[in-house]
Structure 1
Amino acid sequence: MKTLAAVVESVKQPFQLEHIDLPEPGDDEVLVRIVGVGLCHTDLASKDGLIDAPFPNVFGHEGAGIVEKVGSRVSKVAPGDHVVLAPAFDGTCPHCLHGEPMYCDQFFALNFQADPDGPHAEREHGGRARLGYFGQSSFAHYAVVNQRSTIKVRKDVPLKLLGPLGCGIQTGAGTVMNGIRPKAGSTMAVIGMGPVGLAAIMAAQVCGCTTLIAIDQVDARLDTARELGATHVINTRQAGNLGEAIRAIAPRGVDAIVDAAGVNALIGAAIGGLAILGHVALVAVPSAAGKPLELPWLTFLLAGQSVQGYIEGNAISEVFIPQLIDLYRQGRFPFDRLISFYPFHDIEQAVADQHAGKIIKAVLEMEA
């Protein structure tokens, strides 16, 4: 079927809206009419060549929409269901079978389209564009996805809000709730008050952290962090030594640090504020693949400290996304406060505004 999509011709080229012809859903696939789709840093990293991706391509991986059609073997969802789309996984590797789909053996190949014979769309002016980015390519009015990537959600919440739960919000909240699992009364610092970091702040408050430090260089974002539960803030433009600034608030250091900024120097400085047996959670994508992170080896050894990377917040999306929606409805996880809506045709303006820090999280609304 024909649909309007945002196609990127080659590395660092702009999004251009054009009609493409989607393949029919396979036996285990679902056709989803996209209602809203979040604009994620990872989309832009792939577009700009920081993460390998084939071109021409239809990106987009924070889609939410309504099921229009299902394949013959689909039993998970039915036409009319509201769904959030989550990353692809094969469902058969040891990690998937042990309940760790975010660490699927085929995660990179499936989500970053490593198979040159993967799905394509025919373009209206000739040629083809790759489909299946993060299993969905949801920068389009319609997307064809494997049923494993569809998460059925309740219908009493505005569907256009929910797409970011499939990646960015899930990543920040899940890193805290599923990964770190802080005890009530514990201490935490979060670096970077973008959507991922602010989701971590909200999740840490839900978990009962009583000292919760937000770290950023933009006062407006720090103000938002306070409103969402941060007990203290540190502006890195004003703090001389970040580790000392953390210890001025938490003299014994913080039990955990979440990095949602991806700035090597900030991570290294913040580690000076990490408590004995403290844990560092790496969430942000570095500025270059293969970029090393230096740690104070002896300090980590003697203090029993640890560092770990987290993909998609260690979340089983089928379970976690509905939980986040329930918390939202209870007023305990107000992620809607992060979102600014743009018409789909204003995708380039949304990119510019997000890059300039004018907004926290852009969500593209599909026009009727």
Structure 2
Amino acid sequence: MEITAAVVRAPGADFTVEKVELDELRHNEVRVRLVATGICHTDSLVRDAIYPTPLPAVLGHEGAGIVEGIGDSVTSVAPGDHVVLAAAYCGHCRRCRAGQMAYCENLFAADFGGARLDGSTSISKDGEAISSHFFGQSSFATYANVVEESVVKIRSDVPLEHLGPLGCGLNTGAGTVLNELKPEIGSSLAVFGTGAVGNAAIMAAKVAECAIIVAVDIHQSRLDLALELGATHTINSITEDLPTRLKEIVGDAGLDYVVDTTARPELLRQAADALGVRGTVALVGAARPGTEVAFEIGASLVKGWTFKTVVQGSSVPQVFIPQLIQLWLDGRFPFEKLVKDYSLDQINEGFADSKSGVTVKPVIIF
């Protein structure tokens, strides 16, 4: 069938909105009519060839929509169901079998391979193959053939337009706090970088009843929003000295937790230095492969501190995304305050606004 999609054809190039062909469903796929999809930093990493999905490609991995058809082996959804689309996973490796889908041993093939596991793509134009199945979905399109593992059925009485970001960015930030770190009531937590992922972590820290929640960023507007969402303190690292301000806030005890969304080595070093005894730094930001960080391991040895990387909030999407929706319905996860709407024709504007800090979470409405 003919669909409309945003295609990136060369590293660093703008997306072009084109008519392309979507092939027939395979046995394990769900055809989804997209209602909306979020724009995420990972999309820009692939657009710029920092991550290895072959171009040309249809990207997008925060889709939300309505099921229009299912393959003959699909059992989790039916036509008419409302769904959020999340990251793909193989479902049969050791990590998937252990319920650790975020750490699927076949993650790169499932999410970044640009094709089905048999090498075919679902999208083409005039005989030209275009990479599909990005994160199992490729949601920068009006329709997508999505692997069943990426599909999360949700209740039909909530608006789909802004739910897509729950599939990646908001899931990552909130899940890192609630699923991975599990901070104690009354603990201290800092978030470095208050974009969509960082603000999701801040909202989750408030849900977890952290006593001190520090937001760190270079955009004052984002810091102001972070205060509205649950931060108790803010630090503008352009105008304030970050180590000094952290010491003023938490004293000699240091921080219990830091969530870093920036993946900047100098900030990760400062995060580690600011930890208290048994503190933890959780890196969720994506860096260019080969990036290294130097940590102090002499005096800090006695702290027993931890550095860990966290993928997709260590979530099982089919379990955690409905939980986030319930928190939103309860008024405890007001992620709609992060969102600004764009049309598909405005996709490049959405990417630019996200990079500049004008928009926290751009969402394309179809």
Same fold by TM-score greater than 0.5: yes
Contiguous gaps of at least 5 residues in structure 1:
none
Q: What SS does the corresponding residue of 2:69 show, helix, strand or coil?
A: strand
User: Matched residue of 1:120: which SS?
Assistant: coil
CA deviation after TM superposition for structure 1 residue 350, in Å: 1.0
Task: Verify the 8 A CA contact 2:123 2:131 in the aligned structure 1.
Answer: no
Corresponding residue of 2:187: 186
Q: 1:1-368 maps to which residues of 2 (within 5 A)?
A: 1-113=1-113, 118-121=119-122, 123-240=124-241, 242-251=242-251, 252-286=253-287, 288-366=288-366
Deviations for 1:254-285, whole angstroms, at most 9, x for unmatched residues? 10011011221112123222111100000001
SS of corresponding position for 2:354: helix
Does the residue aligned with 1:92 lie in a helix, a strand or coil? coil
Using structure 2 for the length normalisation, give the TM-score.
0.97
- Alpha-carbon separation, structure 1, partners of 2:98 and 2:308: 19
Q: CA deviation at 1:122?
A: 5.1
- CA–CA distance in 1 between the matches of 2:355 and 2:219? 13
Evaluate the alpha carbon distance shift between residue 74 and residue 245 of structure 1 in structure 2; reply closer, same or farther with a 3 A threshold: same
Output one character per residue of 1:115-151: Cα deviation in whole Å (capped at 9) or x when no partner: 6953324544442211111110000000101111100
Deviation at 1:114, TM superposition (A): 6.4
Report the Cα offset of residue 353 of structure 1: 1.4
Kindly indicate whether the alpha-carbon contact (under 8 Å) linking 2:102 and 2:314 is maintained by their aligned counterparts in 1: yes
Unaligned runs of 5+ in 2: none
Q: CA, structure 1 residues 239+272, in 2 after alignment: closer, same or farther (shift >3 Å)? A: farther
The answer (yes or no) to whether the contact 2:266–2:293 under 8 Å persists in 1 is no
- Please tell me whether the aligned partners of residues 342 and 363 of structure 1 are also in contact (alpha carbons under 8 angstroms): yes
CA distance in 1, matches of 2:188, 2:90: 37
Contact 1:20 1:121 in 2 (8 A): no
Q: Aligned partner of 1:42: which letter?
A: T
Maintained 8 Å contact 1:61/1:87? yes
Report if aligned partners of 2:271, 2:281 keep a CA contact under 8 Å in 1.
no
The 3-state SS of whatever aligns with 1:159 is coil
Question: SS in structure 1 opposite 2:161?
Answer: helix
SS at match of 1:234: strand
The SS at the match of 1:255 is: strand
**What SS does the corresponding residue of 1:346 show, helix, strand or coil?**
helix
Letter paired with 1:67: V
Q: Is the contact between residue 114 and residue 121 of structure 2 (CA under 8 Å) also seen in structure 1?
A: no
The answer as to whether partners of 2:22 and 2:124 remain within 8 angstroms in 1 is no
Whether the 8 Å contact between 1:32 and 1:144 is mirrored in structure 2 is: yes
Q: Is the 8 A contact 1:243 1:271 kept in 2?
A: no
Q: 1:77 to 1:250 in 2, by over 3 A?
A: same
Q: 1:361 to 1:122 in 2, by over 3 A?
A: closer
| Contact kept? 2:190, 2:257, Cα under 8 Å | yes
Write the letter of the residue equivalent to 1:180: L
Give the distance between the partners of 2:299 and 2:105, measured in 1 at CA: 33
**Per-residue deviation, 1:179:** 0.5
Q: For 1:285-332, what per-residue CA distance to the aligned partner results, in whole angstroms no more than 9, with x for missing partners?
A: 12x211101111124421100000000000000100000000000000
Identity among equivalent positions (%) equals 43
Is contact 1:33–1:141 with CA below 8 Å preserved after alignment? Answer: yes
Report the Cα distance in structure 1 between the residues aligned to 2:310 and 2:119, rounded to whole angstroms.
27
Partners of 2:284 and 2:299 in 1: how far apart? 22
Q: Distance in 1 between matches of 2:246 and 2:289?
A: 29
Count of paired positions: 364
SS at 2:247 equivalent: helix
Match of 1:297, SS?
A: coil
Distance in 2, matches of 1:114 and 1:327, equals 34
User: 1:294 is aligned with what amino acid?
Assistant: A
CA distance in 2, matches of 1:40, 1:31: 22
8 Å CA contact retained: 1:244, 1:272: no
